[in-house]
A and B are shown apart, each in its own frame.
Chain A
Amino acid sequence: MSIKKVGPSEPGPEPGPVADSGPASKAESGPASKAEPGPTAGTGSLVDVRDVSVVFRKRRTLAAARQVRAVNDVTFHIAEGETFGLVGESGSGKSTTGRALLKLVPTVSGSIKVAGHDVTALHGGALRRARRSMQMVFQDPYSSLDPSATVAASIAEPLIVHERLSARAARTRVHELIEMVGLRASYADRYPYEFSGGQRQRLAIARAIALNPRFVVCDEAVSALDVSTQNQVINLLERLRSEFKLTYLFIAHDLAIVRHISHRVGVMYLGRIVETGPAERVYSAPAHPYTQALLSAIPDPRRESERIVLEGDLPDPAKPPVGCPFQTRCRFVMDVCRQQVPEHTAVEGGGEVACHLQTSGPTLAGSPLNDLAPTRVAAAP
């Protein structure tokens, strides 16, 4: 009855799609954010991160506590079933961002929504229940599995804690999980030291998917593995994603791997996201000079263009430069970069970039970064 009433008065296409798009629709219908994410935002973002900051306090003896803003106003979203790759070097804040999403580190501002849960507002039992739907795979499979427990015990733990399965039921499920990641169920009663790195990472993945999560953070999940096993694990992650409709945040410093696995990519530098966009666009036409340098650092024996070698190191995160975080190493640095933090602006081909070249650059104004000559000539390495 009520449907009939509403129907004729509002013939627009609105009611249908909004009804089943869950939490994202709320964000959509709210006041338009200044950093409105890309085109897929409305169609059911499973993860919605807005203006999130994480601050660490470093206590030093004989000196005042100093603050490090490890994550600074980070905004991105991940659609359901999508893989979002987060790249950056050590100290860029990519791992901290991943941890903040699961509330493993506290945030000081911003909002994080994952699978309908307002993560920043959750505490205690509610947080524990929410964590069933979000899991994490860590870099080092040697330290993420308890060396004194059989792998069956490690994988069964979340099942016993969250699903209150009986020992027998848990065991059946553990065997299923172990086979799902491509190992033999008979391995269940072995200890972690009996496995190779790649096998251990498979077991860590089995544990992560034990509770049928919707969202998995993979933090450098394949970085410690040899190339031949690395690909086996990536193929496994891809298979599980399509089989169980998983959504991934894939954090890595290896750009080639991120390119392979990600639909969209975010590039972090000194706590900020400097560029986002569809993987194809970011890799073929990087809009930020840092992204360009990162891509150039990938070894390529058949390289035709000159390799861009960045000078210097990442600045001290406790004392970031005023203005653009990348100014100290940028080949195109201008006066404005030392004064203002660049705003996020849309990039042709999808995504956003935070770079003054896009707005106040004298020559760029939309032309590809690869065509621009540097303002500062690099010294010998």
Chain B
Amino acid sequence: MTVTSAKKDGDTLLQIEDLHVDFLTDRGWTNVVAGVSFDVGPGEIVGLVGESGSGKSVTSLSVLRLLPDAYARTPSGRVLYQGRDLIGMPARALRDIRGNEISMIFQEPMTSLNPAFTIGDQIAEVYRRHKGGSRRAAFARAAEMLDLVGIPDAGSRVKDYPHEFSGGMRQRAMIAMALACEPKLLIADEPATALDVTVQAQIVALLSRLRDETGCGILFITHDLGLVVELADRVVVMYAGEVVETAAALDLYNAPKHPYTAGLLSAMPHLGVRGKELPTIPGRTPEPWRMPEGCRFSPRCGYTSDECVAAPPALRIVEAGRSARCCRTEQLRLVGSP
């Protein structure tokens, strides 16, 4: 696994800078993503990990502005795609980027596909919208894409409807659609979560191969730390709306620098620990309207001291190529996955 930190200027594909997102709730505007920053380089796979409520999906949806304007707002922050800010971009210009230069796949392929049109029609539609050309050429492209993602007998399956595909094949079809216009960035939001483990393995192997073949960058959002470390070059861990740690995947796995990451790693169900009490992280993710003072993880952290509660810690560089949001990390002996 090659690790690129992709920090050089001009070498960055996607750059998220201090992104804030608020949701309109019964309690008024409530902040759910609080100053997230990270980037994705060309051909790089970045894993965005967190539990439910961490803000990882909201962050990924904000990149292409897929949240409803009436209920979500981005009061500050920038999302730069090849230097252009997507947040302030006119809707028309953004539509030329969506599905073309940046495309996205979601967790549930059945709800993302239109049941009334054939798989081929749906892939061809995206292609013609962005690249033009004849209907016939677009349909041929659809068959070519299905073949690329490993659908057997793609030439005839392209005329099938979504219900004729299995769950794994539907997710492959979604990936085919996402890649039809040769995007430079693919955002995959829990693409393997609803699938069986053996099919999950197929999808992950497919994404890895496509990155190698097409050179697209991938932002891979998941709650599964084991999966992300196996697939990604770099991992960004989110907790309660903030980035708490970023590092090269194996570094994070072997030697976490934030107690939350360490807790997640120890809580991963490992083979071979039968009978022993499983490690847990006490408590639960805080509600967005009831964020703890100081460090947001402090009420659940085993290492909390006065300075943790006094002021919110900043995300800072703790080693070359990695950062953590913990004021005590140098004093702690955090252990990685056993």
Contacts and interface: CB of A to CB of B under 8 A. Distances in A.
Contacts of B198: 89, 293-294, 297, 309-310
B169 to A, nearest CB: 7
Contacts of A254: 197, 269
Nearest to A303: B230
A379 B150 CA distance: 9
A253 interface: yes
A198 B280 CA distance: 12
Contact of A228 (B152, B264, B270): B264
Nearest to B228: A299
B269 A253 contact: no
A263 to B, nearest CB: 8
B274 interface: yes
Interface residues of A, number: 46
Contact of B274 (A230, A253, A280, A303): A280
Contacts of A307: 201, 205
B196 A238 contact: no
Given A89-B197, A381-B206, A231 B227 contact: no
Interface in B269-286: 269-274, 277-281, 284-285
Report the interface size class on chain B.
35 or more
Contact of B209 (A255, A296, A314, A381): A381
A311 to B, nearest CB: 8
A323 B52 CA distance: 43
Contacts of B205: 307, 309, 381
A245 interface: no
Interface in A277-316: 279-280, 283, 293-294, 296-303, 307, 309-310, 312-314
A229 B264 CA distance: 10
Given A227-B223, A228-B263, A381-B202, A198 B269 contact: no
A198 B270 CA distance: 20
Contact of B269 (A256, A280, A302, A313): A256
Given A279-B274, A297-B200, A235 B280 contact: yes
B267 interface: yes
Given A298-B226, A313-B199, 18 more contacts: A90-B167, A196-B284, A226-B223, A227-B51, A228-B281, A229-B280, A253-B196, A253-B197, A255-B271, A259-B272, A261-B274, A299-B226, A300-B226, A301-B229, A301-B253, A303-B230, A379-B150, A380-B209
Interface of B: 51-52, 150, 152, 166-169, 196-202, 204-206, 209, 223-227, 229-230, 249-250, 253, 263-264, 267-274, 277-281, 284-285, 337
Interface of A: 89-90, 196-198, 226-232, 234-235, 238, 253-257, 259-262, 279-280, 283, 293-294, 296-303, 307, 309-310, 312-314, 379-381
15 contacts: A89-B196, A227-B267, A227-B268, A229-B280, A230-B269, A253-B196, A254-B269, A256-B271, A259-B272, A299-B230, A301-B229, A312-B152, A314-B166, A381-B150, A381-B209
